[in-house]
Amino acid sequence: MARSNPGNAILTAVLAVAACAVPFVAGDYYVSFATEIAIMVLMLSSYRIVVLTGEWSFAHVVLQGAGAYTAAIMVKDHGASFPVSLVAGSIAAAAIAAVLSIPLLKMRGFYFLMGTFAASEAIRLLWRKFTYFGGTRGFSGISAPYFDFGGIQIDFGRPETYYFLTLAIVAACLVLIWRLEQSRLGKVWKTIEQQDVLAQSVGIDTRGYRRIAFVIAAAFAGIAGVLLAYAFGSVTPNRFGLNFALYLMIWAIVGGTRTFFGVIVGGIVLMAFDESLRFAEGLRPGVYGVILILVMLFFPQGLERLVGWTGLYGRGVSKAAPVSSEGGA
């Protein structure tokens, strides 16, 4: 059982209070931007599940897109409600990941990374070429969620109401991811990342556990995709392209993946920094290249290392304990 850390509790409380305060101190534009940050935090945290097994992937963004496209189709063609779209988007992304994992997880390291790149581009090509997916223009006109609880009506069309809906869903997902990481399953993932050969030698089905991580991460990415589709009211294939996949990977590296809070703090900081670059779009790749080089040279553990120096929070990820093969996948 993971030991509790006062620093983790303090950081969680600070982030929670700051997140809840946003609509009361910021205008609609920044509330909408905070919604994007919350969705990105979920993307980075779910991406880290794959990283825990020692793999890096280009497919995570396309799996988010699968959730977004599923929501768009459910709403436009079937008039589905937000809860139905949310569940359907998560299941669709997980199902696609399960299919992709069959050939992809026969590879490791660089070959797995390139395999996910090829699969992602193939899926994006399908979205662009077939009118069922809206072609190059995608879908638009996705209405904001609207709930009616026994006469109590809530319209999530306003930035602040949709922000709180997104925040609640993301918070619930983060709790689930945290619990997964602290569970026996999470310990197996860390063992595979640190000692793959040893894990296999004691009878652990490493490929099976990597598949579980890949599919679970995709399910959360699908939820992020649904939230994004409703936030923008539209879905296009370019939104889930290679550039976003590269930035997601860079943000994970710069934020740090050794701790649960690393990608969260890193995601918030880097999203805010990225917003400052929107008036200098041409400089963005070069700036991120310089940041990545500096981080890898001086802070190989990412921004979480800087926070760690302050003593604000502990690692949050203990060294993987030996795991028996009993009950392996």
Specify whether the CB–CB gap between 39 and 56 falls below 8 A. no
Helix (H) or strand (E) holding 209: helix 206-232
Q: What is the pLDDT of residue 297?
A: 86
pTM for the complete prediction?
A: 0.88
CA dihedral of 103, 208, 50, 72, whole degrees rounded to 10: 60
Strands 152-155 and 234-235: unpaired
Chain-centroid distance of CA 201 in Å reads: 32
Would you kindly state where each structural domain of the chain is located, as residue ranges?
6-309
Nearest to 162 by CA among 144, 148, 177: 144
Distance CA 218, CA 90 (A): 7
pLDDT mean for each 10 residues of the chain (329 residues): 62 87 91 95 95 93 97 91 95 98 93 95 94 90 82 84 96 95 90 79 86 97 97 93 90 86 87 83 82 84 64 45 45
Nearest to 34 by CA among 126, 176, 130, 165: 165
Class of domain 6-309: mainly alpha
Chain-centroid distance of CA 252 in Å reads: 10
Going from the C-alpha of 320 to that of each of 161, 183, 191, the distances in angstroms are 41, 11, 5
CA pseudo-torsion sign 169, 303, 212, 321: negative
**Could you say which DSSP state residue 235 is in?**
E
Q: Residue 83 contacts by C-beta under 8 Å, 6 or more apart in sequence? A: none
Nearest to 70 by CA among 86, 52, 59: 86
Distance CA 106, CA 121 (A): 19
